Homo-oligomer: A and B are copies of this chain.
């Protein structure tokens, strides 16, 4: 599974564990809702700065999103 697919899978799983909608997650990470949707489909190749914001919003380490 490539890294964008691993990210997609982990984002969806961790967001749902928090009980958040994509809208709520997007708001907390300060990114656009459609971008969250794209990321959860593995349709984007984000920079590490964006993934760092996602990890902080979810209160996990970056490695938990990418490994």
Interface set of A (CB-CB < 8 Å, partner B):
2-4, 7, 45-49, 51-52, 61-64, 66-67
User: How many monomers of this protein are in the complex?
Assistant: 2
Contact at A61–B67, with CB atoms within 8 Å? yes
B contact residues around A51 at 8 Å (CB): 3, 48, 66
A47's partner among B45, B62, B63, B67 (CB-CB below 8 A) is B45
CB distance from A53 to the nearest CB of B (A): 9
Known contacts A2-B49, A3-B48, A3-B51; 10 further A-B pairs (Cβ under 8 A) = A3-B62, A45-B47, A45-B48, A47-B48, A61-B67, A62-B63, A62-B66, A62-B67, A63-B64, A66-B66
